[in-house]
Amino acid sequence: MKALIFNNQNRLTAIWSLCFVCLLLSASVSAQVAVKGKTVYTMAGEPIKDGVVLTAGGKITNVGPASSISIPNSFRVIEAEVVTPGLIDAHTVIGLAGYLNQPHDQMQIEKSSPMQPHLRAIDSYNAREELIKWVRSLGVTTIHTGHAPLALISGQTMIAKTVGDNVDEATIVPTAMIATTIGNAARGASGKSPGTTAKQAAMLRQMLIKAQNYGKKKEFSRDLKLEMMKKVIDREIPLLVTAHRSRDIMTAIRIAKEFNIKIVLDGVSDAHLVIDPIKASGFPVILHATMMRAGGDSKSASMETASKLKRAGIPVAIQSGYEGYVPKTRVVLFEAAVTVAYGMSFEDALRTITIDAAKVIGLEKRIGSIEVGKDADIAMYDGDPFEYTTHCVGTMINGRMVSSIKR
């Protein structure tokens, strides 16, 4: 009897081992994919007609015309009319702001203090948020998300892939920037500080001065706020400065030069009024959502601003931004599409949500274009991606199909 039990246990162990090996082999095979497109926009050169992209192990291994690439029999083949790099949302709050628009899923702003650079986005990010699934289904594979532009320093931002069951699986950069706002959105309510933009600038300067001196004494108490701002002073991470009015844009540039820190200009509705100073500063721009509602600080928001910045040679990405109402997010695919009607070429518009967005958030060596060695993040469409009647028929992240529809 003991021998029989022992033999059965051995058989079960062998069966489970075989199943495990089969699963590994299946995963390996499924990770080898050939994506064929009638037009492949690599964003690293001219579009390829009848192109093929080979992916294996989560990376792009080959790309070129179908006539020059042999597809191994072991590869799964997926076909689409148009193939692009996975789209990048250069600034959003999804993952912290949820689609329900109720207090329990709104973690994008903490109102107890005007300056909280120590608040980590990864501690509030919900990888299972429905909005993430929604934008992924439209080809968005990477998001730069975090605390909303509703305080002088609202907290940190992070960069994540739009996949994964938890924050650790999704995150590729846990702390990307420190979200800062200069303007009415960051003014204190009911007489609380800061009441004016001058006070905002003064408070920001004071924080940066403290950060300069932080850690110089042999004995000092840890301060999480100053630890993060010291990283800004040391140019390890930039400030993401949301500023819409021309005066506030200039204040941001002035402070950055004064402290020799890196910043990324965000929003910039009045950019057309200060294009020369922006260009001279060398700082990149994450422009407001093209179709954002104009009003208040952003009353000068224009659908033509993207093309004006592009013509001036200023690095620009487009964002979905922050919305205070349901459904809580815009989609960068649609925001970029509208710029084509207002002076942008098709490929320049696509760049604002692919390779140029990757450059602005500092990940151009990994994502943003279809090139050998980069992450296999790919979006597939059944027509012109910027046509509203077009469908995203497939989204690939790290070489895995994470969204698809049959047409």
Measure the CA–CA gap between 243 and 237, rounded to whole angstroms. 18
Beta strand ranges found along 152-238 (DSSP E): 153-161, 171-173, 178-181
103 CB contacts (<8 Å, ≥6 apart)? Answer: none
Give yes or no for a contact between 140 and 87, defined as CB atoms under 8 angstroms apart: yes
- Note the pLDDT of residue 22: 42
pLDDT at 323: 83
Q: What are the chain's domains?
A: 31-85+369-407 (2.30.40.10), 87-367 (3.20.20.140)
Structure tokens at 208: 């940066």
- Cα separation, 92 vs 31, whole angstroms: 30
Q: How far is CA 33 from the centre of its chain?
A: 25
CB count within 10 Å of CB 203 equals 17
pLDDT at res. 189: 85
Instruction: Please state, in angstroms and as integers, the Cα–Cα distance from residue 271 to each residue in 187, 239, 288, following that order.
Output: 21, 18, 10
Contact present, 226 and 211 (Cβ < 8 Å): yes
State both tokens at 121.
């986005």
Rounded Cα gap, residues 226 and 324, in angstroms: 30
Phi, psi (rounded to 5 degrees) for 97: -95, 125
What pLDDT is attached to residue 325?
A: 79
List the chain residues with pLDDT less than 50.
Answer: 1-9, 11-30
Question: 3-state DSSP call for residue 389?
Answer: coil
The packing angle between helices 224-233 and 197-213, to 10°, is 90
Q: How many Å apart are CA 393 and CA 378, to the nearest integer?
A: 11
Supply the DSSP symbol for 376.
Answer: -
Residue 381 main-chain phi, psi, to 5 deg: -130, 155
Residue 171: both structure tokens together: 């995150």
Integer angstrom CA distances of residue 307 from 47, 169, 344, 346: 21, 36, 5, 11
Q: Identify the pLDDT of residue 407.
A: 61
Pair 329, 131: CB distance under 8 Å: yes
Is residue 125 within 8 Å of residue 95, measured between CB atoms?
yes
